[in-house]
Structure 1
Amino acid sequence: MADHLIDCDCASQLGQMVKLARQQRPEKVIFQTSLMSALLSGVYDGSMTVADLLEKGDFGLGTFNHLDGELVAIDHHIYQLKSDGSAQQARADQQTPFAVMTFFQPDYHLELVQPISRQDIHRLINQHLPSDNVFCALRIEGDFLHAETRTVPEQCRPYRPMQEAITEQPLFTFTQKTGSVIGFRTPQYMQGINVAGYHEHFITANRQGGGHLLDYQLLSGQLTFGAIHKLVVDLPTDHEFLSADLHPDDLDQAIRAVES
């Protein structure tokens, strides 16, 4: 009888330890609000706030209502990257029409001591991951020879489709900067739900500038990344989303045009 009580007590303690460990290290899940195809068709307003996003993760990217700049979530903070190339910490009540968040838990930590291009970094990640059919979250901390970015300016109603809005986007080149790359690799079968392939944003180390990345070259730094096998999508219920054309004939080509 005594042995049985001891066994039960040990099992109870083990269960509590497992529960505590899960609380301290959340499950690896990507949380996404809305769809990339909705953003493409001009659904630029959402109801999810910055405060809401930080409950879903400490790392991520997206945009703000009215397509007002790029969103970067890093180290439990969210920043708004403006169309003049500057960055500022976002307010808790700011809202987003599209964002992707996770609690960043990398499986791989690589020190990169020689200059390396964006394409070669992507190849390096692909070589380590078990399959092209899983998601990946990646972060780079280091010194960059250059980081080429763009940021779409704030839009006014009536909203134009994103392909038209980006015709006015300013381009920036950050040279010899220390900063961070925050990104995701999404499987090709998810095109339209998210952005298939690599989607990355850049923010400087002083958190004063950045944007959506078009290209970069790293001089040296640390690359951390890991696979994620679960996606949760929160779909809007407003009229604009429900009436949007979310699967146009040229969906793949249109997304590639606005993201590259």
Structure 2
Amino acid sequence: MSNLSVSRSNVLYQASLMSALLSGVYEGDTTMAQLREHGDFGLGTFNKLDGELIAFDGNIFQLRGDGTARRATSDQKTPFATMTFFNPTNEYKIDCPHTREEIHQVIDKVIASQNSFCALRIDGEFSRVDTRTVPEQHRPYKPMLEAVKQQPTFHIENNRGVLIGFLTPEYMQGINVAGYHEHFINEARSSGGHVLDYQVERGTLKFGTVEKLMIDFPWDTDFLNANLSPENLQEAIRAVES
């Protein structure tokens, strides 16, 4: 394990709330160009839940419901996304197979508190990445718990790629996704999705905590009428994310 110097303070920018997405608020006004103003690294989704969003090195890709990937255009919009300028403070060389749980244990042992946000990135060779991507939705929108019932799952094997994600404290459940939330794209930038599980054979893990959080709230009719505090919030988020 080695330490990397911090060049600037990390700020986590968030468009909307996870609880809004859960309630069917699937359209936002934040464009990809606007997201880039707030970071070069992040994840989220696209309007109408049309695939997963993964951003790194200033590039934003759309991971679609058929398992393919493509570069996002600047005018595409998101109903929910999290972005930051990635400034890792720790680096860990992966020279033997690590499961998802083992990678998380490496991070958990280093970060000072489970009350901190943490951004992470793995560049490496993956023997297995299990993903899913929700297909594009149409009005009248179903709650996300119903929408994910139609989601296809994919099993990507023996691929190099980039996995990025965030560790979010439990007290932020509903505002974001508590725990680890990760997306993957392969080296060819042709496939990927929301990560369910993985095993990385070798590569590099970089991670660091985030010090500040900024949220932009939408003010459209869908958001203003949404139930953002459902009784089953915890169970619903766990169900749609796992």
| Pairing 1:180–2:158 present | no
> For 2:142, what is the secondary structure of its paired residue?
coil
Using the TM superposition, give the Cα deviation of residue 239 of structure 1 relative to its aligned residue in structure 2, in angstroms: 1.1
2:196: which partner in 1?
Answer: 214
Residue 86 of structure 2 corresponds to which residue in structure 1?
Answer: 104
For residues 25 and 87 of structure 1, what CA distance do their matches in structure 2 show?
A: 31
2:37 match: secondary structure: helix
Distance (whole Å) between structure 1 residues aligned to residue 210 and residue 142 of structure 2: 34
The aligned residue for residue 256 of structure 1 is 238
1:146 corresponding residue in structure 2: 128
User: Hey, what does 1:62 align to over in structure 2?
Assistant: 44
Partner AA of 2:160 in structure 1: T
Two-structure CA RMSD over aligned residues (Å): 0.9
Query: Aligned residue for 2:3?
Result: none
TM-score, length of structure 1 as denominator length: 0.90
User: How many angstroms does 1:170 deviate by?
Assistant: 0.5
Q: Is the 8 A contact 2:95 2:201 kept in 1?
A: yes
**1:92-171 correspondence runs (5 A):** 92-171=74-153
The normalised TM-score by structure 2 is: 0.97
Equivalents in 2 of 1:92, 1:71: separation in Å?
A: 13
Match of 2:229 among 247, 255, 259: 247
Distance in 1 separating the partners of 2:81 and 2:188:
23
The 2-side partners of 1:209 and 1:26 are apart by 32
- Judge conservation of contact 2:9–2:211 (CA < 8 Å) in 1: no
Q: Distance in 1 between matches of 2:77 and 2:193?
A: 18
Q: Which amino acid counterpart does residue 202 of structure 2 have in structure 1?
A: S
Q: In the TM superposition, what whole-angstrom CA distance separates every residue of 1:87-145 from its partner, at most 9, and x where no partner exists?
A: 00001000000000000000001101000000010011000000000000000000001
Q: Which runs of 5+ in 1 are unaligned?
A: 1-23
Between the two proteins, the alignment pairs up a number of residues equal to: 237
Q: Equivalent residue for 1:194?
A: 176
User: What SS class does the counterpart of residue 92 from structure 1 fall into?
Assistant: coil
Task: Give the match for residue 203 of structure 1.
Answer: 185
Unaligned runs of 5+ in 2: 1-5
Alignment partner, residue 14 of structure 1:
none
Equivalents in 2 of 1:219, 1:26: separation in Å? Answer: 31
1:29 aligns with 2:29: no
Shift of residue 27 of structure 1?
Answer: 2.7
Q: Aligned residues: percent identity?
A: 57
Question: 1:91 is matched with which residue?
Answer: 73
Distance in structure 1 (CA, Å) of the matches to 2:9 and 2:55: 18
Tell me, in whole angstroms, the C-alpha distance in 1 between the residues paired with 2:78 and 2:46: 4
Amino acid at match of 1:187: P
SS in 2 for 1:60: strand
Runs of 4+ residues over 3 Å off in structure 1: none
Task: Please give the secondary structure, in 2, of the residue aligned with 1:111.
Answer: strand
Q: CA deviation at 1:182?
A: 0.7
